[in-house]
Amino acid sequence: MNEQTISHYRVHEKLGGGGMGVVYRAEDTRLGRSVALKFLPDEVARDPQAVERFQREARSASALNHPNICTIFDIGEHDGRPFIAMELLEGETLKHRISGQPLEVGEILDLSLQISDALDATHKKGIVHRDIKPANIFITRRDTAKILDFGLAKLSQRRQRIGETVGASMGATAMPTEHLTDSGVAVGTAAYMSPEQARGEELDARTDLFSLGAVLYEMSTGRVAFQGNTSAVIFDAILNRAPTAPVKLNAKLPAGLAQIIQKLLEKDPNARYQTAARLYADFEKLKRELDSGQLAAAPAAAPTEKSVAVLYFENLSGAKEDEYFRDGMTEDVITELSKIKDLRIFPRAAVLAFRDKAVTGPEVGQQLNAAYVLGGSLRRAGNRLRITTQLVETRTGHSVWAERYDRQLEDVFEVQDEIARNITQALRITLTPQEQKTIARKPTENAQAYDYYLRGRSYMRRETNSDLEFALQMYEHAILLDPNFAQAHAGVANACSAVYEWHEKNDRWIQRAQAAAERALQIDPQLPEGLVARARMVWAQKKYGEAIALAQQAIERQPNCPGAYSVLLRCYFNSDRWQDVAELGERAIEANGDDYNMHVPIVMSLERLGRHDVANSIRERHVRLLEQHLEQVPEDVRARILLASNKVSLGDEAAAIRNLEIAVALRPRDSNVLYNGACTYALLSRKPEALEMLRRAIAAGYQNIDWLTRDPDFNSLREDPEFQQILQSAGKK
């Protein structure tokens, strides 16, 4: 296209191009000035939606007149290819300016003032850019920042008519912007999206401010705030994790600037800066302090030199039936390391998102702010085990310790012990005599009993009748092989209490649970799992105060004790202590967030408190956990029926019905599944199906009336006479 004349533009040379545009240097022969002509690529120009986005870029940007926004001069068409004539810029993008290195503080503030002022002008025109990132910010040779590429910009509802008028005046047919993106579809560049953008929700100006926070983070540290090999990993980081504190990566960063970045990157839009004007004012204040020599560097955060994230071991056997062993082995290594006082170990929930994902140790360490990451693999063949482990330093990516173990199954506890000791030696941690004794203690001398126990534990959380029966059988097999296996006795108690709680109100289950819990604590009076087993038993009998005290004792002994928070939260919920649940929710998820049952009372309590936005945030995390779990265990009916009700609340009715129908088809007479199916239909306002399924649940043995009377899923039926009659009849049983 060189030296070709298009309309009144003489094209000189190609400057560059990408997926949504090819740019040429040209001369406006009428006005005698240099311009940039941006054309759609041939393969894209045939897509009406891409053409409309291209024209929308011109309409959006032409509505703005600001020195820090690239000026649009004209829009036209040549040989069926639309083009935009715009200001010719010489310099480099902010992406190239950063190039993996932090900028000087003065430069960061100068550019930030310009960018925030431009966003203020954009937002006041009712336009949201939706794709703020370093590649869309140009730095001229005079260090002037220019915002580019309004191709994803969206007019607010009150501004759409103005946008249509502007478009019509350019000879373009205006199309309402909502036709260009489907509801629930994330738009933008993954690493710079706001949480609400990643969820595909309705956006306002605050989404640009979050994205600017991610850009500022990169300007200040040289690193992308939210990293990952896949969009799924990046989205999980955006939604659930805070990036490494920028002052840890750049000691020269002023405290005030670090605070601005933190506020911009708040997950909750209401906690963020609300306007670019307010942000500009804070930058202006910092600039004055810098110029007067009053700007102080942020105090360096204490390095977490002895923090370790333990990744789930890779299952090299490839056999699905070995997943329970791989998961159990990993979780027990985490538990063992958690007993060392001078070592900070990330809970299972923190690393669950990385299970079976193609991520490196340093990437995980950066996302979690862990100094070290322990990874490894496990291959099981009959009675033989091959376990490889490697401890990697996040900062350098170097291995500080690695080992391979070729052992018999009965040596599994020695391997766990050696891993713990080798890590402490590599990190120069001196174990106390008590810690040495604790780590060396084996739950059982019988490896086959341990194997049965892990199988039972993997089925326990599913809570359907048949799954509880299988878990109970596994625990019993473990006890037959080792009558002094305290954790297996606690497992029997938990399973019996769950059967009584959800499926059959027969005192024989409570008697059996009580005997098993007492036996567990007789063998090991300090066993946290024994306290949880006793707590679950008395909770099933509605002795909520006693159950709360026991669960709290278990958490004091072992903060990540499986099941402890689940019992505690459910007791609080059934006691109408919803505020206690809300206050405890995040701590519980951090400790036991891999237990998908635990999110239920948290969400329900938040709903009862009217905190619907927070409830939805927890619900979204719950959905991701359930979907991750179902990828590994698609036959888990409990997880599937919970996913169904969550999908309704998040607006995906088709997915809700699909998962409900699969779950009920797999367990048509399970009271727990039927109850949750009734919840799903109630949320869908499908009254006949909800009432019928609730009747079926009660007929199948569901009798947790305390829960039913408080369950917000049935709010749409609460005053219905038929629902009241079902409730009354169930209460008399």
Whole-angstrom Cα distance, residue 135 to residue 141? 16
Whole-angstrom Cα distance, residue 272 to residue 422? 44
Whole-angstrom Cα distance, residue 373 to residue 311? 7
Tokens of 235: 């989205």
Whole-angstrom Cα distance, residue 342 to residue 624? 32
Whole-angstrom Cα distance, residue 360 to residue 229? 9
Q: Which residues have CB under 8 Å from 661's CB, separation 6+?
A: none
Asked whether 571 and 558 are in contact (CB, 8 A), the reply is no
What would the DSSP string read from start to end of 530-595? HHHHHHHHHHHTT-HHHHHHHHHHHHHH-TT-TTHHHHHHHHHHHTT-HHHHHHHHHHHHHHHTT-
Angstrom distances, CA of residue 690 to CA of 582, 621, 718, 722: 28, 26, 12, 11
Strands (DSSP E) found in 191-304: none
Tokens of 128: 């949201």
Tokens of 265: 């990157």
Q: Examine the residue annotation and report whether 131 is marked as an active-site residue of this protein.
A: yes
Asked whether 22 and 33 are in contact (CB, 8 A), the reply is no
Asked whether 158 and 46 are in contact (CB, 8 A), the reply is no
Whole-angstrom Cα distance, residue 581 to residue 313? 33
Asked whether 107 and 114 are in contact (CB, 8 A), the reply is no
Q: Point out which residues pair with 140 in neighbouring strands.
A: 91
Among residues 150, 139, 146, the alpha carbon closest in space to that of 68 is found at: 146
Virtual torsion, Cα 562, 568, 573, 575, nearest 10 deg: 150
User: Which helix or strand (DSSP H or E) is residue 93 part of?
Assistant: strand 91-93
Tokens of 521: 């604590």
Among residues 467, 454, 459, 455, the alpha carbon closest in space to that of 666 is found at: 467
Q: In 10 A of CB 406, how many CB atoms?
A: 11
**Hunting for tokens 């590429």 — which residue is that?**
149
Whole-angstrom Cα distance, residue 326 to residue 311? 11
Type of residue at 590: E
Q: What share of the chain is helix, strand, coil (3-state, %, to 5)?
A: 55, 15, 30
DSSP annotation of 259 reads H
Whole-angstrom Cα distance, residue 199 to residue 374? 31
The active-site residue, picked from 120, 131, 236, 327, is: 131
Helices and strands per DSSP (H, E), number in the chain: 32, 17
Phi then psi dihedrals of residue 377, to 5 deg = -140, 160
Report CA 301 to chain centroid distance, whole Å: 25
Residues labelled catalytic: 131
